[in-house]
């Protein structure tokens, strides 16, 4: 299949393998994720409302039509070519709708799977269709069912889907069996499902709108249908801001922007199609890229929101708004590194002069309290302790939980002390920083490699995070030696880093999917690859040029020609480069944006 990017007068094409998918988002949480055919229960059109994500449309099929031969991204919309027929997908900003247009009228079949995104129950689903001239309204009701629930027949919720079109529609109303190949390959069960083939229509343009209220859905569908050209031009104009640099950079910054949820939420989804929550660490890590892309106000809103939500132990919640409470239970509710990343990003805001004096005072007061509570809760003999599964490497295999004293946690704490001195000018923070830095050097640095944890010299890429957060821990010569030794254990020739020593008994070279055996024990994460390239560039760009170049090339290829068109994947198998995991990951996109700025600034 051919993939093409067409921005203005420029056009770039390449052949791609597999079922190429794409994302489009509306800026308030809803998104499209269509592939050539549904390969996942997370393909389709998803509607975000009051913190809940609903799958609505499973697929739009063209009856007896050739498979797509080309997919074209114009940034503001996506087109697919099927012989002489062209499909166009467009989602207007801040609206609960999307538009689907064909180059000529054709018979389409519309399959629905209305449900909360993680709800895989099959029973208690009811669709009621009413047709009128140019309009179909579908009422969906979800009720409990004795086969899957304790009760039976209790209504849980209902949604209304309005479809405005320019042709003729007829009810189909039949249940269709689906088998999802991508879900099966990553052991994400169930990987089969019955969906509802609701209706067929011979039409050229269809507009879909969804609401909890019938009239609102109809009103929205009519508005978008009648103002289609205007809304399309507005989105085209808005997207010009993303087309000013290299192609992959434009795509990554647009994908990152699409993960930001405005309208008071001020949050950044960790990734799509299934990480639609505000993970504090992911948000903070990704926020510098928002600043670099001209969205400093977005980044600041995220960081200040996180500071207002700091828990009694001095940390940020693992997921914002999740209502987990304090982090004293066996199941961790707070992020060991989230508050440290907030400090690193506040440091960036200060450097860019994006904080008002009143905001600086709020930040200083919040962080002083957080630092005191962190020390009280987690400091042990001058170092910061974390329980198992509280760092970004949050999966367990063979009791490998990273409990203890981890290098990136120490470096992020040092960054906090440095920021607090800058904000308050209180000598106590300089003293804390100096004393802790000396302790970390003594306990973690053996003259050739920086330990991943206290008394744990297992090669992992977390020393690159330490260098990013607190570069003054080692000299440039020491960092250079450390990186060279780590690379000898972690480097993957296609252009990435393994998440554990390739000689480790825990290392797996192939992604295991939802079972997390390979997740942090071999899988190569694009965000950490891009971050590593940044710190290698800052440390010795000539010595590490080959590694930096290969990482950049691999990440660029992932964005443009693998996985989802124009989006950066979560990770790849170590064995060979693939687009795997979540196909549109915030910190992957964000760190690529940073890497591009780093390379262009030299």
pLDDT per position as a tens digit, 156-181:
999 999 999 999 999 999 999 999 99
* 18 confidence band (pLDDT: 50, 70, 90): confident
Task: Tell whether 116 and 230 lie within a shared domain.
Answer: yes
Average pLDDT over residues 30-46: 97
Strand, helix or coil for residue 46: strand
202: pLDDT strictly greater than 50? yes
Residue 200, domain extent: 2-239
Number of domains, the chain: 2
Strands, E assignment, 343-466? 379-380, 383-384
What are the pLDDT digits (tens) for 402-429? 999 999 999 999 999 999 999 999 999 9
Task: Tell whether 360 and 497 lie within a shared domain.
Answer: yes
Return the structure tokens found at 407. Answer: 């290098």
Count the Cβ atoms, other than its own, within 10 Å of residue 541: 14
454: pLDDT strictly greater than 60? yes
pLDDT of residue 333: 83
Task: Tell whether 222 and 331 lie within a shared domain.
Answer: no
CA distance 484 to 479: 8
pLDDT of residue 245: 76
Average pLDDT over residues 259-273: 93
pLDDT of residue 589: 98
Which CATH number fits the domain that encloses residue 60?
A: 2.70.98
Average pLDDT over residues 117-136: 98
Strand partners, 565: 22
**H helices then E strands: how many in the chain?**
15, 26
CA distance 144 to 237: 46
298: pLDDT strictly greater than 60? yes
DSSP state at residue 83:
T
323: pLDDT strictly greater than 60? no
| Residue carrying the six token digits 């707070």 | 334
pLDDT of residue 332: 47
Average pLDDT over residues 448-472: 98
pLDDT of residue 104: 98
Task: Tell whether 209 and 282 lie within a shared domain.
Answer: no
Who's near 495: CB < 8 A, 6+ residues apart? 529, 550, 551, 552, 553, 554, 555, 577
pLDDT of residue 325: 38
* 320 confidence band (pLDDT: 50, 70, 90): confident
49: pLDDT strictly greater than 90? yes
Least trusted range by pLDDT, from 279-293, 319-333, 370-384 = 319-333
The answer to whether residues 24 and 37 touch, using CB atoms and an 8 Å cutoff, is no
Query: Which long-range contacts link 498-503 to residues 24+ away (Cβ below 8 Å)?
Result: 498/461, 498/522, 498/523, 498/524, 498/574, 499/393, 499/460, 499/461, 499/523, 499/524, 499/525, 499/528, 500/458, 500/459, 500/460, 501/458, 501/459, 501/460, 502/574
Task: Tell whether 133 and 40 lie within a shared domain.
Answer: yes
Chain center to CA of 565: 14
Q: What are phi and psi of 594, to 5 degrees?
A: -60, -45
345: pLDDT strictly greater than 80? yes
Which CATH number fits the domain that encloses residue 389?
A: 1.50.10.10
* 230 confidence band (pLDDT: 50, 70, 90): very high
Burial profile 28-63: b = 16 or more Cβ within 10 angstroms, e = fewer: bbbbbbbbbebbbbbbbbbbbeeeebbbbbbbbbbe
* 472 confidence band (pLDDT: 50, 70, 90): very high
360: pLDDT strictly greater than 60? yes
Strand partners, 90: 99
pLDDT of residue 331: 40
Nearest C-alpha neighbor of 9 from the set 353, 324, 167, 240? 240
Task: Tell whether 444 and 400 lie within a shared domain.
Answer: yes
Task: Tell whether 373 and 300 lie within a shared domain.
Answer: yes
CA distance 242 to 340: 30
Cα dihedral 290→295→296→297 (10° resolution): -130
Task: Tell whether 234 and 301 lie within a shared domain.
Answer: no
The CB-side HSE value for 171 (13 A sphere, CA atoms) comes to 12
Last residue of a domain, one of 239, 261, 277: 239
The answer to whether residues 206 and 163 touch, using CB atoms and an 8 Å cutoff, is yes
Who's near 201: CB < 8 A, 6+ residues apart? 107, 108, 110, 136, 163, 165, 167, 168, 169, 170
Task: Tell whether 252 and 126 lie within a shared domain.
Answer: no
To the question of pTM greater than 0.95 for the whole model, the response is yes
- In total, the chain counts a number of residues equal to 602
Last residue of a domain, one of 239, 259, 280: 239
Last residue of a domain, one of 239, 262, 281: 239
Strand partners, 139: 128, 160
Task: Tell whether 291 and 214 lie within a shared domain.
Answer: no
Task: Tell whether 119 and 183 lie within a shared domain.
Answer: yes
Task: Tell whether 35 and 145 lie within a shared domain.
Answer: yes
In the chain, % of residues over pLDDT 70: 98
DSSP 134-180: TEEEEEEEEE--TTTSSSSS-EEEEEEEEEEESSEEEEEEEEEEEE-
């Amino acid at each position: 299949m051919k993939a093409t990017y067409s921005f203005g007068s420029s056009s770039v094409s390449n052949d791609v393998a597999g079922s190429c998918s794409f994302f489009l988002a509306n800026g308030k949480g809803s998104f499209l994720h269509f592939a050539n055919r549904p390969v996942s229960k997370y393909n389709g059109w998803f509607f975000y409302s009051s913190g809940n994500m609903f799958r609505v449309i499973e697929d739009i099929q063209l009856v007896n039509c050739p498979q797509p031969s080309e997919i074209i991204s114009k940034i503001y919309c996506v087109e697919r070519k099927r012989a002489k027929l062209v499909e166009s997908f467009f989602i207007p900003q801040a609206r609960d709708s999307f538009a689907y247009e064909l180059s000529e009228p054709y018979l389409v079949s519309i399959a629905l799977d209305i449900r909360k995104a993680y709800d895989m129950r099959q029973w208690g689903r009811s669709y009621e269709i009413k047709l009128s001239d140019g309009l179909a309204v579908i009422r969906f009701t979800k009720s409990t069912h004795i086969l899957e629930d304790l009760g039976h027949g209790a209504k849980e919720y209902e949604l209304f889907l309005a479809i405005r079109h320019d042709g003729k529609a007829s009810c189909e109303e039949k249940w269709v069996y689906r088998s999802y190949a991508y879900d099966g390959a990553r052991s994400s069960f169930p990987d089969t499902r019955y969906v509802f083939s609701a209706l067929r229509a011979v039409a050229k343009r269809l507009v879909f709108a969804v609401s909890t209220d019938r009239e609102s859905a109809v009103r929205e569908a009519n508005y978008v249908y009648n103002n289609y050209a205007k809304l399309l031009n507005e989105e085209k104009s808005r997207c010009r801001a993303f087309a000013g640099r290299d192609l992959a950079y434009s795509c990554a910054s647009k994908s990152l922007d699409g993960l930001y949820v405005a309208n008071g939420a001020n949050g950044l989804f960790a990734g799509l199609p299934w990480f639609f929550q505000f993970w504090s660490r992911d948000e903070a890590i990704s926020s510098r890229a928002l600043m670099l892309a001209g969205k400093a106000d977005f980044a600041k809103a995220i960081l200040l929101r996180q500071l207002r939500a700091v828990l009694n132990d001095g940390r940020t919640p693992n997921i914002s708004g999740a209502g987990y409470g304090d982090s004293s239970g066996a199941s961790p509710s707070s992020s060991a590194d989230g508050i440290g990343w907030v400090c690193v990003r506040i440091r960036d805001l200060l450097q860019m002069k994006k904080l008002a004096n009143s905001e600086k005072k709020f930040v200083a007061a919040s962080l002083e309290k957080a630092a005191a509570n962190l020390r009280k809760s987690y400091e042990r003999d001058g170092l910061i302790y974390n329980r198992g599964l509280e760092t970004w490497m949050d999966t367990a295999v063979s009791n490998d939980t990273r409990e203890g004293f981890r290098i990136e946690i120490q470096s992020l704490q040092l960054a906090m002390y440095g920021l607090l001195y800058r904000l308050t000018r209180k000598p106590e923070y300089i003293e804390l920083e100096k004393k802790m830095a000396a302790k970390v050097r003594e306990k973690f640095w053996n003259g050739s490699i920086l330990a991943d944890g206290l008394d744990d010299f297992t090669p992992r890429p977390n020393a690159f995070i330490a260098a990013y957060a607190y570069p003054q821990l080692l000299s440039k010569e020491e960092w250079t030696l450390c990186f060279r030794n780590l690379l000898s254990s972690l480097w993957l020739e296609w252009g990435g880093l393994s998440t554990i020593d390739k000689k480790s008994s825990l290392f797996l070279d192939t992604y295991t999917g939802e079972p997390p055996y390979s997740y942090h024990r071999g899988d190569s994460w694009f965000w950490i690859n891009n971050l590593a390239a940044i710190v290698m560039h800052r440390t010795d760009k000539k010595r590490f040029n080959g590694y930096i170049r290969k990482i950049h090339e691999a990440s660029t290829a992932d964005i443009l020609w693998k996985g989802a068109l124009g989006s950066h994947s979560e990770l790849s198998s170590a064995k060979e480069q693939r687009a795997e995991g979540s196909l549109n990951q915030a910190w992957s996109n964000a760190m690529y944006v940073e890497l591009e700025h780093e390379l262009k600034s030299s």
